[in-house]
Amino acid sequence: MHVQKKSSSGPKMQGRQRQHIGRMLPYELDSRAPESFVVDASHFSRERKTCAAAFDAEQDFRNLAAKIAAVKPPFSHVVLISHKMPRLADALGLQFSDINKNKVRVVSDFALPWIAGELREGEPNIAIVDDSINVGSTIRNVLKRIESCSTKDMKKGTGENKSARPHVFALYGKKRSDQNGYPFFYTLIRDKLLEQDEYNELASKVALRLHLLNKPYELEFPLLTLSYAPGIINAEALFFALQRRFGETRVSSLSHPLPSGTGLYRFAITAPLEEGLHGEQQIRLYADDLSRECRFVPMWIDGVAPGPLSGEQGTIIEAIAKIQRGMEKLLVEDSSAQQKKYCGEALPGEAKLRLKMFVDSLAFALRMLPDFSDLLDLPLESEPILSEQDMIFLFGKAEFYKAWEELTNTVVRNIMRAK
């Protein structure tokens, strides 16, 4: 391992055994400051660079972003096709605009229903980005959705009225000027259709590269950034502490295939559920031994909302519901749709379903956090807890992020300080 010898092994190094009292750990946590354990930062960095270098498509993706940033006039919106592209943009730090000029709004296609109002009212100039376009059904679907949000008729967006045409960017694809009646500009890094095996290989490389981001592949869940508590010397100690806390059958490691030399780890903790409930509720932890950061990702997937919160439950639940209702009011319904479709989504009400899953997961996190309060710590007062980037990808608007962050920040800090 890559810390000093005393901190290098599992549970036996975490302190003396003591009587189990209530929720406390059945052993004493090491009270020494984390600084006393010297982490071999250069080794972690070297391993991470090696893993990152294995991703040979990185330069292609950077070229793609540079092409988008170079377009004049600049795009008002860049829509990244979920889940790969938003995560990859995050992992590689892709910039889609000249930072000294107009700021482009970079969202995922999940965010389209939430920004339908501004697409309708404004003069959107939209770039759609995917890694590869083979069959084209995903792009066709996104184009339809953008058209249903916009007052402009993209099918008539020819001749002088070119501003209504979205611009599709991809690494691979075959040059086409027309996608089932939707004219759009097309920019490819390589004018080539990928064979299925080649596409699978590209997708595998992207997935492997995303392990270094240390976030879930999925975008739809709240991501809270916490840190190791002082007594937790490394991710391994955290893992064994979690197993003792929740039981071995509820805690598993998902770290493979990431080499342990990177100091990045993933754990899943299955939540004990109340009687009558079943499902896949869990907490995911994405731990980083180098920064001592631990991302806390609650996942509440069942349609049944989690049970009531303890403590100030009424206030918190009401605050969550208020933001949820406020957001739902902004959804613009398709006038032609018989069922409630928002921004031409393929299946009706997906935006609301995603919001519900997000809200339930957040409520679930607030309920579970007391069980982690001696294992994880708060970030600095000035640091946000909820990930802004993920929220913007998911819901599009900074206002939504601010509302959720304000609530989460207050509640999470109160919970963690009450330990």
Interacting residues with other proteins (CB under 8 A):
83-84, 134-138, 140-141, 196, 199-201, 203-204, 206-208, 210-211, 216-218, 239, 243, 248-249, 251-254, 256-257, 259-261, 266, 268, 270, 278-280, 282, 284, 301, 303, 346-350, 353, 357
212 vs 411, which CB is nearer to other proteins?
Answer: 212
* Nearest-approach distance from CB 93 to other proteins, in angstroms: 20
* Nearest-approach distance from CB 325 to other proteins, in angstroms: 20
* Nearest-approach distance from CB 207 to other proteins, in angstroms: 3
* Nearest-approach distance from CB 163 to other proteins, in angstroms: 27
140 vs 413, which CB is nearer to other proteins?
Answer: 140
151 vs 204, which CB is nearer to other proteins?
Answer: 204
253 vs 291, which CB is nearer to other proteins?
Answer: 253
CA 106 – CA 290 distance, rounded (Å): 29
* Nearest-approach distance from CB 140 to other proteins, in angstroms: 8
352 vs 419, which CB is nearer to other proteins?
Answer: 352
* Nearest-approach distance from CB 233 to other proteins, in angstroms: 16
* Nearest-approach distance from CB 296 to other proteins, in angstroms: 15
CA 97 – CA 76 distance, rounded (Å): 10
117 vs 349, which CB is nearer to other proteins?
Answer: 349
* Nearest-approach distance from CB 236 to other proteins, in angstroms: 8
| 394: enclosing H helix or E strand | helix 388-395
355 vs 407, which CB is nearer to other proteins?
Answer: 355
97 vs 262, which CB is nearer to other proteins?
Answer: 262
